[in-house]
Structure 1
Amino acid sequence: MSGSEALPTELGEVRESLIGWYEADHREFPWRRTDDAYEILVSEVMSQQTQLERVEEAWSEFLERWPDPESLAAADRSEVVGFWTDHSLGYNNRAKYLHEAARQVVGEFDGEFPEEPEGLQELQGVGPYTGNAVASFAFDNGDAVVDTNVKRVLYRAFDVPDDDAAFEAAARELMPAGESRVWNNAIMELGGVACRKTPKCDEAGCPLREWCSAYETGDFTAPDVPTQPKFEGSRRQKRGRAIRVLKEYEELPLDELGPRVRVDYGGEDSEEWLRGLVSDLADDGLVEIEGDRVRLRR
């Protein structure tokens, strides 16, 4: 099944529900209250691997110091990099790229930002994701944004396969035409607030519960949330049981330890399995092995 084929037939209702949920209540970040391309670019570059709550203060201070591309382009690069370092905003290359992008806007684009995602990608350090985000939030002229949060929503809600092409196809089909600003903000907000790694479906009032496969089945795995192996009968459980037995007896021969760890212990493969288990424990510094005897390391 392709990405778009996985979507429900009631696309209009899905769109209305998500946009209505977002417009009724969402996190208030200052860059959501502007359509200035420069201000939005700064927020996007700062947010690449930094929590949004931490970006707020740095974003405001950056714009107080360099309020437009002209002032940033005229700044000494070392000052921009220094600001980046002082505010723990990640790799300094991002500061260098942002400074160079401002110079391009001033020198090559007469101070005006391109309005298309492709044009924005001509700026230093602006890739497909950032270009599309700026086009969406500044000019309402972008495609569907597909980040980790969006993938998680699509995978859980509509069973979109874990495949980049499928995610992009589904995201494009789902986004209402000409509404990239509100839509991309809304679906990313959903992933960041409700459809988190640990979901908060009811608490956050997720508007997609009516159509959501994960909500119906209780399976909230996702591309960035792998399935946790069952504990019952697992190797993790047997390791823990071996340690508890050795705490009680301090030291045991393998043929006495085995039946206490596994009720079905016996047969030619069991000893090999047990030796592998206690070897792992020894590698972790938890037990000591001498011949056929195992004891808890003190």
Structure 2
Amino acid sequence: MADVDADDSPALPADPDPVREALIEWYETDHREFPWRRTEDPYEILVSEVMSQQTQLGRVVPAWEDFLDRWPAVTDLAAADRGDVVAFWSDHSLGYNNRAKYLHEAATQVETEYDGEFPRTPDELSELMGVGPYTANAVASFAFNAGDAVVDTNVKRVLHRAFAEIHNADDPDYETVANALMPAGESRIWNNAIMELGGVACGKKPRCDEAGCPWREWCHAYQTGDFTAPDVPTQPSFEGSRRQFRGRIVRALSNHDELTLDELGPKIRVDYSPDGENGREWLEGLLTDLADDGLLDVEESDDRTVAKLSE
């Protein structure tokens, strides 16, 4: 993204420097300690970003550490068996097992297409399998200090509350405002700081005074008491969902070379009945989804269907 002049953004204070300095000082004084904030290794940061998608950070920390113990460098992950990576993902309840597949393929790309050296810009990083604009920008920022302003749900909430023009706009341009506010060449600390602000002080239930929010003197919401913010999509229930049963299938198959439908069914739900509502037809639908994602192979013959993890 091209540089944005703060003077061109009416949503910012006339002098944004004190706003910037206050946030960075607040972050540097005290912030949550996550292990990936202590590294600039793009591989380690990519793993943390992929794991953190729709997963609570407290659960990510031990999984991230275990993952790097097993595959400490991108070379190790690229050489790993994909089935082992998917099984690890499922065993650690990280959800959406196709992210494990994409992470493995991205590591292979780094090895084969980039000679083991990570690309450094958001556009280049977006060429890696499963790496979307947000993740590419986060890796570019935190590994290379070469990203744009990160705009996730937390950042949108912060900007919406802080600046009246964003709050009152029908279709606010969050990215333009975020990039205008970010100090040039400081994407690493700035993105960490504003995401921390959204996660600690400006959550759905704001903790302005308790968390010592550094933007209180400029904040539209704090001055007016109007803490409305963009709606945050409700995460579908995991219990009883297709995601839950897909994960159980992968875990079951990780402990067996292969299983037939009627061997697999009882391992993933106690009420499995071959000809019932939650029977073979239901199970075949889940297996088809997983096979389409490249996570397992399904072999059919005249008298039985067999599933096994892809190699």
Instruction: State how 1:49-128 maps to structure 2 within 5 Å.
Output: 49-128=54-133
Cα pair 1:100 1:124 within 8 Å, conserved:
yes
- Which of 202, 219, 222 lines up with 1:212 in the alignment? 219
Q: CA RMSD in A?
A: 1.7
When residues 100 and 225 of structure 1 are mapped into structure 2, their CA distance, relative to the original with a 3 A threshold, is closer
Structure with bigger gyration radius: 1
Aligned to 1:130: 135
Aligned to 1:275: none
Aligned to 1:6: 11
Cα pair 2:155 2:195 within 8 Å, conserved:
yes
2: CA distance between counterparts of 1:130 and 1:59?
Answer: 16
Give the partner amino acid of 2:111: V
Provide, for residues 88-122 of structure 1, a one-character-per-residue CA deviation record: whole Å limited to 9, x for no partner.
11101100000000000001100000000000001
SS in structure 1 at match of 2:53: coil
Instruction: State how 1:128-277 maps to structure 2 within 5 Å.
Output: 128-159=133-164, 160-161=166-167, 166-224=173-231
Quote the offset at 1:135 in angstroms. Answer: 0.1
TM-score normalised to structure 2 length: 0.70
Aligned to 1:45: 50
1: CA distance between counterparts of 2:45 and 2:11?
Answer: 32
Aligned to 2:242: none
2: CA distance between counterparts of 1:88 and 1:53?
Answer: 12
SS in structure 1 at match of 2:173: helix
Aligned to 1:257: none
TM-score normalised to structure 1 length: 0.73
2: CA distance between counterparts of 1:156 and 1:68?
Answer: 40
2: CA distance between counterparts of 1:208 and 1:193?
Answer: 13
Aligned to 2:257: none
Quote the offset at 1:225 in angstroms. Answer: 6.5
1: CA distance between counterparts of 2:59 and 2:96?
Answer: 15
Q: Which runs of 5+ in 2 are unaligned?
A: 1-7, 234-311
Quote the offset at 1:10 in angstroms. Answer: 2.2
Cα pair 1:152 1:224 within 8 Å, conserved:
no
Give the partner amino acid of 2:183: P
Quote the offset at 1:9 in angstroms. Answer: 1.2
Cα pair 2:153 2:232 within 8 Å, conserved:
no
Quote the offset at 1:201 in angstroms. Answer: 0.1
Aligned length: 225
2: CA distance between counterparts of 1:182 and 1:93?
Answer: 31
Give the partner amino acid of 2:137: N
Q: Which runs of 5+ in 1 are unaligned?
A: 227-298
Runs of 4+ in 1 over 3 A off after TM superposition: 161-165
Give the partner amino acid of 2:203: R
Quote the offset at 1:163 in angstroms. Answer: 6.5
Cα pair 1:6 1:158 within 8 Å, conserved:
yes
